[in-house]
Chain A
Amino acid sequence: MPTKRAGASPAPPSITKSLSSGPKTLPPNASVFDIAHYVWQQYLATTSERTMLLDVFMVFLVLVGAIQFAYCVLAGNFPFNAFLSGFSAAVGQFVLTASLRMQTSNGVPKEGTKVAKSKDESGQVGSVSHERAFADYIFGSLILHFFCINFIN
């Protein structure tokens, strides 16, 4: 590992540079760290700001779910229905938000100047418009909330 990393260490600056000119492939002998770094940079570069906000919301849901699960493991699942509804509310909301993300970020936005145009196109290319997807998302979420509240007693 250390030898590999030492060998690959000069690579990052070139990758960051190449990022500005769009995605580039990694060298086949890239280390795990490099891959992670590359993926992260790629994410920052190619994700629209609105999708990032959505991703933050998903991170929030993962956190809420993880804390609830950790509490269940640590302190027992005594009102088990409460655990199920609390945890599945987080998981379900996550799944719904993930679907919304799939339906609203299918177009890969290029650089800042191109944003508006590409969005225009992607909005038409998908069979469902962003707003329709959002309406479905709200509908699904409300049903999820109703069932979770019903089940938590």
Chain B
Amino acid sequence: MQLWHSLLQLGLLASTAVPTVAASAWGFTDATVSVHSKGSGVGAGLKEKIPDNKGLSQPIDLGDADTLKLTLTSQEGSTAKRAHQVFLLLQDPETGLDISYPFNVKDNGKARVELAQKDLPVQFLSASEPLDARLLIGSFGSSKAYNGVAFQLSVTHDPNVPVPTVEAPKYGKLPEIHHIFKSDPQSPPVVVTLAFVGMVLATLPFLAVAWLFLGANVSHLPAAFKSSPVPHTIFLGSLFSIEGIFFQYYTSWTLFQVLPAVAVAGTVAFVSGSRALGEVQGRRLAGQR
């Protein structure tokens, strides 16, 4: 906000200062700007004359190794005179940052300043728009000070060399962070699953068919039940009920419901099992198996 205020002030002052070249106003004459590249000849490079108290229309490029040289004669009214403030003010129109370079002023008002790219603050090197180069000429007393755009300065640099930047630490809002969750595991297509379920369940009939083919039977069942009906019934029943308890555990029961039930059924199976298997052994010893 402050920047805008000061820019506004500058604009107002410039508009009032430039047209009135009255006797009591500061100004300049004989102004030339030249850009001299290191390594090139003396006559090489750009050289422009700035009209009195006005600005150049086209921007001036300042490369990596270039030096900008600006000479002028400050004058109060139309007489050459030394001013207390003869500055070249560079301002970034985007950010409002500014810096001034004082001229080397002689008694007769002749002033010169040299500016290389390395003299510029780092923030200006990365400026996207050309900088405004203003001339500030003013001194004590009642004469009106001069403040006008002399030219636009565009800072060019080697595209292969990274432009240095500065990041001053400051308190402020930080970028938001949203945690990236691991994606949930996906079930394969239900069709595939159902096909495999079908294959798994198809093994049961396969088992039955293979057994029947090999002559499996339950022919001893009547005989077994005849000789010892109670142990066989209870043994089979307890076996099936243990598996049934397991199924209950799978669907709804808790471990503490399951354990006592299995303990009871297991004891019954143990007792009845030893009897039943004794009967089976009897059959085997009788050569019936």
| Residues of chain A at the chain B interface (Cβ within 8 Å) | 49-50, 52-53, 56-57, 59-60, 63-64, 67-68, 70-71, 74-76, 78, 116, 119-120, 123, 129-132, 134-135, 138, 142, 145-146, 149-150, 152
Contacts and interface: CB of A to CB of B under 8 A. Distances in A.
Contact of A67 (B203, B215, B255, B287): B203
B246 A75 contact: no
Contacts of A142: 242-243, 266
Contacts of A138: 239, 269, 273
A127 B109 CA distance: 125
Which label, helix, strand, loop or mixed, suits the secondary structure of the A interface? helix
B193 interface: yes
A135 to B, nearest CB: 6
Contacts of A74: 188, 192
Contacts of B262: 146
B283 to A, nearest CB: 10
B211 A56 contact: yes
B71 to A, nearest CB: 79
Contact of A131 (B189, B277, B287): B277
A123 B203 contact: no
A130 B187 contact: no
B203 A63 contact: yes
Given A75-B188, A134-B277, A64 B239 contact: no
B215 to A, nearest CB: 7
Contacts of A71: 192-193, 196
Interface string B258-289: 00001000100100011001101100110101
A52 B214 contact: yes
B41 interface: no
Contacts of A50: 289
A145 B239 CA distance: 12
A116 B287 contact: yes
Nearest to B250: A149
B214 A56 contact: yes
B200 to A, nearest CB: 5
21 contacts: A52-B214, A57-B207, A60-B207, A60-B210, A70-B196, A71-B192, A74-B192, A78-B186, A116-B287, A123-B285, A131-B281, A138-B239, A138-B269, A142-B242, A142-B243, A145-B243, A145-B246, A146-B262, A149-B250, A150-B249, A150-B255
A150 to B, nearest CB: 7
A152 B187 contact: no
Nearest to B259: A146
Nearest to A76: B188
B140 interface: no
B256 interface: no
Given A68-B200, A142-B243, 11 more contacts: A52-B214, A63-B206, A64-B200, A67-B196, A116-B287, A129-B281, A131-B277, A135-B274, A146-B246, A149-B246, A152-B250
Contacts of A68: 196, 200
A56 B210 contact: yes
A8 to B, nearest CB: 31
Contacts of B247: 149
B284 A56 contact: no
Top 4 closest A-B pairs, CB basis? A75-B188, A116-B287, A131-B277, A60-B207
A48 B269 CA distance: 29
Interface in B182-213: 185-189, 192-193, 196, 199-200, 203-204, 206-207, 210-211
A57 B211 CA distance: 8
A78 B188 contact: yes
Contacts of A145: 243, 246
